[in-house]
Every structure is written in structure tokens, then in C-alpha cells.
Amino acid sequence: MRRAQAAPAFPTPGHDHAPCLKETLQRAADAFEARGLKLTPLRQRVLEEVAGSHHAIGAYEILERLSQKERARMAPISVYRALDALLEMGVVHRLESRNAYFACHAPHGKHGTRQIILACERCATVAEVATPAAFDEIDAAARGAGFGPTRVMVEVTGLCATCAAAPA
């Protein structure tokens, strides 16, 4: 399985997104194949919508886009099932605070999917940064409280460098 190249957390404005999309689709194909599962046409179309930018997108927006492209109304459950499969493979993540999904563009090392998610409040770009020490602290605090977390999600909202530098 090919490893993703490390990239800056936030893309530069106007960057060529085609390589990001291509890499995400390849990682998805590899992940499904490694588990003996299929990246079905619907899963791929849903992933293409999610990975079409570095922004988080809601399930109903995905549904609407696919319905327009295919000129047929799809059932919401179909999109949710595809999203569940993509989440399970780790190629898509859920931005809990917005109930939206975004493509994983960050390589995940020994800490798995334990990345801090950064969400820009102005342009809606989402990025991931690896910070193993932060999660080590969270794990230690949980253990100290006699607590065994099953899932840790850290989201931080604010302004990306591009938006912070631009007039409001």
C-alpha cells in the first residue's frame, strides 16, 4: 500500500486540487482492497464529492449533488451507508461540530486517526495535524480519572493563515 506524502495542513489558495483527489481515490481503493472489500461505484461517487475540496460537506449536500448529476433522486440511507464504509476505511472523517464529512489528506502514523482537526470559520477549509503528544496527555488524563476512552476527537475552530491575513 502506498503512503501519502506529507503536505502542509492547509492548502495554498488556488492550489491544484487534482493530485489531492487522485491520491485520496487511490488510498481508498488500496484500503478497500486490503480488507477484501469493494470500492463500489456509489462509494466512489460519494468519496469524489467529499474529496472534491478541502471543505467539510454534509450528507444531504452530497445527496443533492449526486441527485443533480445523476438526474435521479437517491435515498439518504444510500449516502449514509457509503459514508459509513468510507469512515471505516479511514479515507473520510466526520467533523462532529458541523455534522459534516471531509476527506483525509493527512498520513496517519502509529497513532492511527488521532489527528487534531483544524476548521477555518471563514473559508470552511478543514485540515488535520499530527500531534501525538497532545493525545498522550489526553490518554494520561483519562487513565488518571479511571476512564477508558473508546474514541477521541479533537476539533479546533479559528482562522487559517490565509483568512487571518485577509481583511474581514
Task: Note whether residue 3 is domain-resident.
Answer: no
* Three-state DSSP string of the chain: CCCCCCCCCCCCCCCCCHHHHHHHHHHHHHHHHHCCCCCCHHHHHHHHHHCCCCECECHHHHHHHHHHHHCCCCCHHHHHHHHHHHHHHCCEEEEHHHCEEEECCCCCCCCCCCEEEEEECCCCEEEEEECHHHHHHHHHHHHHCCCCCCCCCEEEEECCHHHHHCCC
Binned at pLDDT 50, 70 and 90, residue 12 comes out as confident
Cβ-based neighbours of 135, under 8 Å, separated by 6 or more: 111, 114, 152, 154
The pLDDT of 11-37, averaged and rounded, is 90
In a domain, 12, yes or no: no
List the domain range (segments joined by +) for residue 111.
18-165
Q: Does 95 map to a domain?
A: yes
Domain tally, the chain: 1
Q: Is residue 13 part of a domain?
A: no
pLDDT tier at 16 (50, 70, 90 boundaries)? confident
pLDDT score, position 168: 73
Of residues 168 and 134, the one with the higher pLDDT is 134
In a domain, 7, yes or no: no
Asked whether the whole model's pTM tops 0.85, one would answer no
- What pLDDT does 154 receive? 92
Cα 33 versus chain centre, distance: 20
- What pLDDT digit, counting tens, does each position of 55-100 carry? 999 999 999 999 999 888 889 999 999 999 999 998 999 999 999 9
- 132: CATH: 1.10.10.10
Asked, for residue 30, whether it belongs to a domain, the answer is: yes
> What digits encode the pLDDT tens for the residues 95-154?
999 999 999 877 665 445 578 999 999 988 999 988 888 989 999 999 999 999 888 889
pLDDT of residue 107: 62
